[in-house]
Structure 1
Amino acid sequence: MIKKTTCFIYVALLVAMATATMVENSHGTNYAHTAIYGSWWFVLMWTALTALGVAYLLKRHVRHWGTWMLHGSMVVILVGALLTHLTATKGKMHLREGETTNAYIAEGDGHDMRNAMLPFSLQLQRFETSYHAGTSAAADYESVFTVIDGHERQRGRVSMNHIFSYRSYRFYQASYDADGHGTVLAVNSDPWGIPVTYTGYALLFFSLLFMLVDPKGPYRRVLRSDLLRKGALMGLLLFALATSGRAQSTVPRATADKLGRLCMLYNDRICPVETYALDFCKKVYGARSYKGLTANQVLAGWLFYGNEWATEPFIRVKGSALRKQMGLESHSAMANFFVMGQYTLGPLVEEYYQGNTDKVHQQALDVDRKLMLVMELRHAASLHLLPYTTPHGVTTWYAPTDTLPQTMNHQQALYIRSVFSLMAQDVAAGRWDRVDEFLNKMDRYQHAFGGRTLPSAPRYQAERVLNAVPFATVLFMVNLTLGLIALFYIMGRMTEARWITPRRRRWADGTFAALLGLSFLALTAAMALRWMVSGNMPLSNGYETMLLLAWFVEAIALLMQRRFRIVMVFGFLLSGFFLLVSHINAMDPAIGQMMPVLNSPLLSIHVSVIMMSYALLSLTFICAVMGLLMRRHEGELQALSQLFLYPAVAAMGIGIFIGAIWANVSWGSYWSWDSKETWALITFMVYAIALHGGSLPAFRRPRPYHWFMVLAFLSLIMTYFGVNYLLSGMHSYA
């Protein structure tokens, strides 16, 4: 009875949390927190689950201390969460420079706000925003203040990922005033909940690691299983793109490359013009080139031959609903959107902003944004290639259409405003030597006036290599092709095909291992180059996390392929799939500056560990699919799946608690029931069910186990993709 009741409440909690994320999306965060997360019945369900879980362990006379430590850590974490819920205080404090106050707005029950007082006062000395050199991208926000506590004075400083503590209160940088002379600090006091919760996290960390190394534990029994020496796999889809034909008017490739090698301000950083050209082509046309022309030539074509290019079918119209309504092709000319001087998308875009957001209007807005990118390029408004450094040493990059500062001397201002129009005259006359000299002079100008905002030579060269080699596109095609070939080879080995002689087997094993190693090195190089270019670990967007997932899959496959040859096939196919996902247009590969709050070592560790767990859980899904398709080998594939499952659950648990610590340091709250957090917890709890074969006998049998792992993978898909695209929350950058 205890087990059935525990299972019922466990499943009910999963359903309640999943429902809460949907409710938050439709009714707002405050409603979801009041009606579900903060409700008495939700707290009661967690309390009942905790009590029943302890009672069940006592009833079974469990004496294994690792099991008690693991489940006990959950109890301690829940006790800490309860203490936080009952005793913590949090709110916001607004300060102006020179102002002294102890008043703040505290958050009450149901997210109601009330006035409150600190037992001491703060006086703001200054608020500063620092920027990445030569850009308007914020690098950090910092508030410097004095704590006044009776006759005592103490200096305090708060910035992103740097908190200030005094007595039992902690202060975080939350926001700031538009004029830059005021700040908003988050105030948090949780003297009881945080230490208890952190104790639970520490216990969880050590118990999850112990689960993997415990000589008497279930994972070591999996490692000793003879079934791991057998196995089989699956196949995937191969995909390729091709273009043909040639546009009529542009500059020679050598001249276009000179333009591409210049630097510009784009995406809040200084980068080669060719980076902007590639992104322009991919966003507007959907490919890196157009009819045999490079991205640099496409950029030059639109810049200098805009009228002719307006008749080229260059604008990609993805939406079939819009194409059908307006009679457009999948790639249409810019001229098709202007009839008798009227902008045909104008009414649809206006209706979208008035609240009509059906498919046609969404697709119209997408095309409208592409057309705006083209218009900006035609007028050189997006080409911020010309730097100016003020007498105070502040460098700003300007486009010819920008308003120039009064402090700029007349000759320099004249050069910035007229350089492209003068160059256009030589382009029209075909005087390419003079155009090249214009570009050479512009390069010298950038080095003379760009100052320290110009990228270093290694960073510049790293970005040019990234631009030249589409790593994800090449590797997904190569890996999927090799994966299919390796699949047929492994199946031949399993069926003892006569054509696989011992000598051929040794040669094939060595060749596939070497090719997987080369693919891994290429992917490592791609990620290292992105790291060099951005200055941050490459995990700031969906594209980069897909690369990281592929990297982990290949690393795991390389480590295990010598003992389990089938893992080699997993490595090729699954990494190829992740790279294929990264290749699709839904994930923008553009490199930009990282938000200040995300620039934290804890976040890098959190995302890396979580991505490793996702990679391992993806391998359990592949095992499950093949176990259902190939019943003869379902037992071996269950053992192989469990080989991945235990470290995957351990990594996910560790990743979640590292993320909670980072959130507490950065946001002032280690758990906020954000949709991404909630679904990560749901996924962790779902996969943890499969580890309880001792209590749930169905999971000892291969077929129910494989069916469960297929269904469990849906929670992972929801966590990674569904939350980003279907739900709301703070993790929209993930």
Structure 2
Amino acid sequence: MVMRLSKPAWLLHIALLLVVAGGVVTWLTGDRGQVWLGSGETVYGYMSATGKEATFPFSLSLDSFKVDYYPGGEVPRDFISYLAVDGEKAVVSVNNIVSVDGYRLCQMSYDSEGHTVLGVNHDPYGIALTYTGYALFAVAGLWLMAARGSRFRKSVRSLAVVALMIAGGGGDVFADTIAGVPRQQADSLASKQVMYNGRVMTFNSLARDFTKKITGSSSYRGLSAEQVMVSWLLYPEQWQGERAILVKEESLRRRLGVEGRYVSLDDLFSDAGDYRLQSMYGSGDKTLDRAVEELDEKVGLLMQLLGGNLIAPVPDGCHQLSEGRVEAELIYNRVPFSMLVFITLFAGAAMAFVALLGRRGFNVAALTLLWAALTLQVVAYLLEWYVAGHIPLANTGETMEFLLIILLPLLLAFHRVSSLLLPAGMLLAGAVALVSHLIGANPVMTPLMPVLASPWLSIHVTLVMTSYALFAFIVTCSLISLFLPSVASRMMALDRVLLYPAIYLLGLGIITGAVWANISWGRYWAWDPKETWALVTFVIYAVAMHRSIKPLNRPMVFHIYMLFAFLAVVMTYFGVNALSSLHSYSG
């Protein structure tokens, strides 16, 4: 059985064995620890993770430590240690390690007194072995799909999909009842540039995110986002009594003694001036505690605004946005792209389901809406990329937008395989778009954290999210097969074609994540929940590639397996966010 493996398959298995062997060698021969350095201090060793002191073959001293801030001076962009190694100058920062005589020094932490904490990793043999395995995996995976006579190419030809794979605001109704500035006056501020959390942005963007964060919507009772924010500043007494702060959790509203879904700032303070949320936190009810944390975040934002600390002018000498970026930002904020995308997809899904009844014209309409949704999503994503200045892949909402850009072309390419694929696929894509829209209703009002300011971010996340999009498409085909057994064999053939690039891209995603971690923290694997579950997902799907497992050659068994396999993707993407993880920023 083993001898039947093709050359690229042999190479692929050797690559995986080398990766495992590298991990074992790292465990047996590697060492890691930390060193604490004060300015002007010289050390000759470090504290190992085993609790024992270990020595360097060199001297190490700290000349100085610096926190590099985003423009505006409040949000850290990088942490930099200026070192001397045997008298030679060296610089360690986030995503920039220093390697000396096999010892890798990386920036871990610091304190307010100018001390720096460096991570130390000594792995002279394991890294080389593991990286060799990574390189062989990249080569073998491509070879396995491209080799003449490979199962992948045969499957593609049998489906005749080669070409496809290659191509592959309302009026001011209530405004008169609220103390607010005139709309024309507030709107005139929209294109003004301000500084928030280290990023130069338009006032429109800040006001929009602020209003969505506080009220759950980009407008409030007929007032635009700019009107809401300026009115809070100019009429604080009236607005502190306005029930404009959204509280979703009913149990918290009951504790506060308010009716409806909104509370005022005054509701959160007793007559004696005590902050009522403080006594409600830590009750043991996790749902209530989370609701208190969310509401407290909103209160903190309002306090920043009322204290004059939320909005800052752009400092002298700071690079301002071009007119083009200002216009792009205003367009992105004013056009409800995310809402239009999920509405278009759900409408298309409805038409595609009607087409199943024999109304062919509805199928054309559904495809037109699918193209429209893809166009809207691509335009929105490109605008977001242009405005942010980096590829939008730093949080869950942004990665789901990227997921749609991969998923929708797949649906356009393969919808003819089954009449049920178009409506089911558009329904799935609409659900993804809806979740992305709901996440955007509670914006993350912070710039990129230092470790994410790396070119590896876009490479790693793009590979992983593309694989997830393929897995989502595969499970959609499998679900259809469970309801329409007559197409099960055809769907299994399509799924097996897509499994090749899906597993390969996930493997490359895990590898690039490991390389990124090694560059940032000097350690390529830490058994973090996210990376561990990504590996579990890889193994589960890799099992389905082995046709020597006879039961998986039966279409219905294969599709049921794909259904359960996708649960690992869900756990990797969503489930681990509830666990303590280095990837907590991704949510």
Asked if Structure 1 and Structure 2 have the same fold, meaning a TM-score greater than 0.5 normalized by the shorter chain, the answer is: yes
- 1:269-308 maps to which residues of 2 (within 5 A)? 269-308=199-238
Q: Is the 8 A contact 1:144 1:156 kept in 2?
A: yes
Q: State the one-letter code of the partner of 2:56.
A: L
Displacement of 1:698: 1.4
- 1:127-276 maps to which residues of 2 (within 5 A)? 127-148=65-86, 154-180=88-114, 182-225=115-158, 245-247=173-175, 248-249=177-178, 250-276=180-206
Residues 601 and 340 from structure 1, CA distance in 2 versus in 1: closer, same or farther, beyond 3 angstroms?
Answer: closer
Select the residue among 345, 348, 354 that pairs with 1:479. Answer: 345
Select the residue among 528, 548, 572 that pairs with 1:719. Answer: 572
Residues 205 and 361 from structure 1, CA distance in 2 versus in 1: closer, same or farther, beyond 3 angstroms?
Answer: closer
Which deviations, in whole Å up to 9, do the C-alpha atoms of 1:123-180 show, x marking residues without a partner? 33333332222242222233333322xxxx5432222222222222222222234234
Select the residue among 512, 521, 536 that pairs with 2:390. Answer: 536
User: Counterparts of 1:666 and 1:364 in 2: how far apart (Å)?
Assistant: 34
User: Counterparts of 1:543 and 1:349 in 2: how far apart (Å)?
Assistant: 30
Residues 382 and 146 from structure 1, CA distance in 2 versus in 1: closer, same or farther, beyond 3 angstroms?
Answer: closer
Partner of residue 531, structure 2: 677
The alignment yields a C-alpha RMSD, in angstroms, of 3.0
User: Counterparts of 2:247 and 2:151 in 1: how far apart (Å)?
Assistant: 54
Partner of residue 124, structure 1: 62
Partner of residue 166, structure 2: none
Displacement of 1:518: 4.0
Secondary structure, counterpart of 1:288 in structure 2: coil
After superposing the two structures, state which structure 1 stretch, 619-628 or 570-579, moved more: 570-579
User: Counterparts of 1:160 and 1:333 in 2: how far apart (Å)?
Assistant: 41
Residues 629 and 375 from structure 1, CA distance in 2 versus in 1: closer, same or farther, beyond 3 angstroms?
Answer: same
Q: State the one-letter code of the partner of 1:144.
A: Y
Partner of residue 22, structure 2: 80
Residues 342 and 482 from structure 1, CA distance in 2 versus in 1: closer, same or farther, beyond 3 angstroms?
Answer: farther
Q: State the one-letter code of the partner of 1:161.
A: N
Say whether 1:610 aligns with 2:544.
no
Residues matched between the structures, number: 578
User: Counterparts of 2:377 and 2:200 in 1: how far apart (Å)?
Assistant: 25
- 1:581-596 maps to which residues of 2 (within 5 A)? 581-585=435-439, 588-590=442-444, 592-596=446-450
Secondary structure, counterpart of 1:165 in structure 2: strand
User: Counterparts of 1:697 and 1:553 in 2: how far apart (Å)?
Assistant: 30
User: Counterparts of 2:501 and 2:292 in 1: how far apart (Å)?
Assistant: 46
Secondary structure, counterpart of 2:394 in structure 1: coil
Select the residue among 500, 505, 509 that pairs with 1:646. Answer: 500
After superposing the two structures, state which structure 1 stretch, 91-100 or 247-256, moved more: 91-100
* Unaligned segments of structure 1, at least 5 residues: 1-56, 230-240, 388-394, 396-449
Which deviations, in whole Å up to 9, do the C-alpha atoms of 1:16-35 show, x marking residues without a partner? xxxxxxxxxxxxxxxxxxxx
- 1:560-575 maps to which residues of 2 (within 5 A)? 572-575=426-429
Secondary structure, counterpart of 1:328 in structure 2: coil
Q: 4+ residue stretches of structure 1 with deviation over 6 A?
A: 241-244, 562-567
Partner of residue 663, structure 1: 517
User: Counterparts of 2:308 and 2:483 in 1: how far apart (Å)?
Assistant: 57
User: Counterparts of 1:688 and 1:559 in 2: how far apart (Å)?
Assistant: 24
Secondary structure, counterpart of 2:57 in structure 1: strand
Which deviations, in whole Å up to 9, do the C-alpha atoms of 1:223-265 show, x marking residues without a partner? 2335989xxxxxxxxxxx9999513231111101123333333
User: Counterparts of 1:620 and 1:368 in 2: how far apart (Å)?
Assistant: 41
- 1:435-514 maps to which residues of 2 (within 5 A)? 450-489=316-355, 491=356, 497=358, 500=360, 509=364
Q: State the one-letter code of the partner of 1:195.
A: A
Secondary structure, counterpart of 1:539 in structure 2: coil
User: Counterparts of 2:68 and 2:487 in 1: how far apart (Å)?
Assistant: 59
Q: Is the 8 A contact 1:609 1:655 kept in 2?
A: yes
TM-score by length of 2: 0.90
Select the residue among 309, 313, 317 that pairs with 2:247. Answer: 317
Higher radius of gyration, 1 or 2: 1
Secondary structure, counterpart of 2:95 in structure 1: coil
User: Counterparts of 2:500 and 2:534 in 1: how far apart (Å)?
Assistant: 16
Displacement of 1:343: 6.1
User: Counterparts of 2:374 and 2:514 in 1: how far apart (Å)?
Assistant: 31
TM-score by length of 1: 0.73
Q: Is the 8 A contact 1:262 1:272 kept in 2?
A: yes
Select the residue among 290, 301, 309 that pairs with 1:373. Answer: 301
Displacement of 1:647: 1.3
Partner of residue 360, structure 1: 288
Partner of residue 44, structure 2: 102
Q: Is the 8 A contact 1:318 1:330 kept in 2?
A: no
Which deviations, in whole Å up to 9, do the C-alpha atoms of 1:706-734 show, x marking residues without a partner? 1111111111111101101x211111011
Q: Is the 8 A contact 1:260 1:274 kept in 2?
A: yes
Residues 473 and 95 from structure 1, CA distance in 2 versus in 1: closer, same or farther, beyond 3 angstroms?
Answer: same
Which deviations, in whole Å up to 9, do the C-alpha atoms of 1:94-145 show, x marking residues without a partner? 333333322211222xxxx221111111233333332222242222233333
Q: State the one-letter code of the partner of 2:203.
A: V
After superposing the two structures, state which structure 1 stretch, 657-666 or 125-134, moved more: 125-134
Residues 657 and 114 from structure 1, CA distance in 2 versus in 1: closer, same or farther, beyond 3 angstroms?
Answer: same
Q: State the one-letter code of the partner of 1:251.
A: V
User: Counterparts of 1:575 and 1:713 in 2: how far apart (Å)?
Assistant: 16
Displacement of 1:318: 0.8
Displacement of 1:68: 1.4
Secondary structure, counterpart of 2:580 in structure 1: coil
Secondary structure, counterpart of 2:259 in structure 1: coil
Q: Is the 8 A contact 1:94 1:183 kept in 2?
A: yes
User: Counterparts of 1:194 and 1:463 in 2: how far apart (Å)?
Assistant: 44
The percentage of counterpart residues that share the same residue type is 36
- 1:322-401 maps to which residues of 2 (within 5 A)? 322-334=252-264, 337=267, 341-342=271-272, 346=276, 348-352=277-281, 356-377=284-305, 379-386=306-313, 395=315
Partner of residue 33, structure 2: 91
User: Counterparts of 2:368 and 2:550 in 1: how far apart (Å)?
Assistant: 41
Select the residue among 701, 704, 720 that pairs with 2:554. Answer: 701
Q: State the one-letter code of the partner of 1:720.
A: Y
Residues 122 and 476 from structure 1, CA distance in 2 versus in 1: closer, same or farther, beyond 3 angstroms?
Answer: same
Q: State the one-letter code of the partner of 2:583.
A: H
Residues 331 and 701 from structure 1, CA distance in 2 versus in 1: closer, same or farther, beyond 3 angstroms?
Answer: same
Q: State the one-letter code of the partner of 1:577.
A: A
Q: Is the 8 A contact 2:40 2:62 kept in 1?
A: yes
Displacement of 1:453: 4.6
After superposing the two structures, state which structure 1 stretch, 79-88 or 638-647, moved more: 638-647
Say whether 1:519 aligns with 2:519.
no
Displacement of 1:595: 1.7
Partner of residue 483, structure 2: 629
Partner of residue 233, structure 1: none
Displacement of 1:358: 4.0
Q: Is the 8 A contact 1:653 1:684 kept in 2?
A: yes
Say whether 1:66 aligns with 2:4.
no
Q: State the one-letter code of the partner of 1:671.
A: W
Secondary structure, counterpart of 1:260 in structure 2: coil
Q: Is the 8 A contact 1:227 1:639 kept in 2?
A: no
Which deviations, in whole Å up to 9, do the C-alpha atoms of 1:394-424 show, x marking residues without a partner? x4xxxxxxxxxxxxxxxxxxxxxxxxxxxxx
Secondary structure, counterpart of 1:580 in structure 2: helix
Displacement of 1:701: 1.4
Residues 195 and 386 from structure 1, CA distance in 2 versus in 1: closer, same or farther, beyond 3 angstroms?
Answer: closer
* Unaligned segments of structure 2, at least 5 residues: 163-168
Q: Is the 8 A contact 2:466 2:502 kept in 1?
A: yes
Q: State the one-letter code of the partner of 1:576.
A: G
